Amino acid sequence: MKNVFISSYRFYLTFFAVLLTFCTLGGRLLHLQVWESNRYGQLAESVRKNFIREQARRGDILDRKGSLLATTKSVVVLGLDPHAFKPEDEPKLEELSNLLQIKHSEIVAAVNKRFYRPSSDRKDVTPVRWVKLKEGVDDSTYRKIKELDISGVYGNYQHSRFYPNQKLAAHVLGYVNKEGKPCMGVELLADYYLKGQDGWRESEKDGRRREMPQFRSVEFIARNGLNVELTLDRVIQDAVEDELENLLKTYEPLSASILVSNPTTGEILAMANGPTFDPNHYNDYPMENQRNRAITDLYEPGSTYKIVPVGAALNENLYFPDDIIDCSIGSYNLGKKSLRLPKDHHPLGKISLHQVVQKSSNRGAAQIGLRLGAERLYHYSKQFGFGEETKIGFVGERSGILHAPNRWDGLTITRLPMGHAVSVTPMQVHCAMSVVANDGILMKPTILRRAFDEEGKTIVPFAPTAVRRVLDESVAEDLNEMLVSVVGEEGTARTAMIKGFKIAGKTGTTQKIIDGKYSNTHHVASFSGYFPADQPRAVITVIVDEPKMNKGRLGYGGSVAGPSFKKIANRLISYFGIQPQSKELSFLDIGNQ
What pLDDT is attached to residue 586? 42
Higher pLDDT, 486 or 84: 486
Report the DSSP beta bridge partners of residue 488: none
> CB of 186 within 8 A of CB of 172?
yes
Residue of 78, 74, 76 whose CA lies nearest to 102: 78
Give the Cα separation of 543 and 436 in Å (integer): 19
pLDDT tens readout for residues 389-418: 999 999 999 999 999 999 999 899 999 999
Is residue 182 one of the residues assigned to a domain?
Answer: yes
Is residue 69 one of the residues assigned to a domain?
Answer: yes
Higher pLDDT, 489 or 35: 489
Residue 58: DSSP 8-state: P
Is residue 168 one of the residues assigned to a domain?
Answer: yes
Cβ-proximal residues to 32 (8 Å cutoff; 6+ apart), any chain: 40
Higher pLDDT, 218 or 339: 339
Give the Cα separation of 32 and 17 in Å (integer): 23
What pLDDT is attached to residue 517? 82
Is residue 441 one of the residues assigned to a domain?
Answer: yes
Residue 496 maps to which CATH number? 3.40.710.10
pLDDT > 90: percent of the chain:
62
Are 459 and 373 within one domain?
yes
How many domains does the chain fold into?
A: 2
pTM confidence score: 0.82
What pLDDT is attached to residue 135? 77
Are 241 and 160 within one domain?
no
Are 314 and 332 within one domain?
yes
Number of H helices, E strands in the chain: 19, 26
CA within 13 Å, CB half, 373: 5
> CB of 482 within 8 A of CB of 321?
yes
Is residue 375 one of the residues assigned to a domain?
Answer: yes
Q: How far is CA 563 from the centre of its chain?
A: 27
Are 129 and 265 within one domain?
no
Q: What is the mean pLDDT of residues 209-236?
A: 78
Range of the domain at 188: 52-112+125-230
Give the Cα separation of 70 and 58 in Å (integer): 10
Are 222 and 239 within one domain?
no
pLDDT tens readout for residues 472-531: 999 999 999 999 999 999 999 999 999 999 999 999 998 888 877 887 778 999 999 999
Q: What is the mean pLDDT of the chain?
A: 88
Cβ-proximal residues to 28 (8 Å cutoff; 6+ apart), any chain: none
Is residue 135 one of the residues assigned to a domain?
Answer: yes
Is residue 15 one of the residues assigned to a domain?
Answer: no
> H/E element holding 191?
helix 191-194
Residue 120, number of CB atoms within 10 A of its CB: 5
Give the Cα separation of 44 and 125 in Å (integer): 18
Give the Cα separation of 84 and 114 in Å (integer): 10
Residue of 577, 579, 557, 555 whose CA lies nearest to 566: 557
pLDDT tens readout for residues 142-181: 888 888 888 878 777 677 899 999 999 999 999 999 888 9
Angle between helices 307-315 and 426-437 (to 10 degrees): 40
Is residue 18 one of the residues assigned to a domain?
Answer: no
Q: Dump strand ranges (E) for 206-253.
A: 211-212, 218-220, 227-230
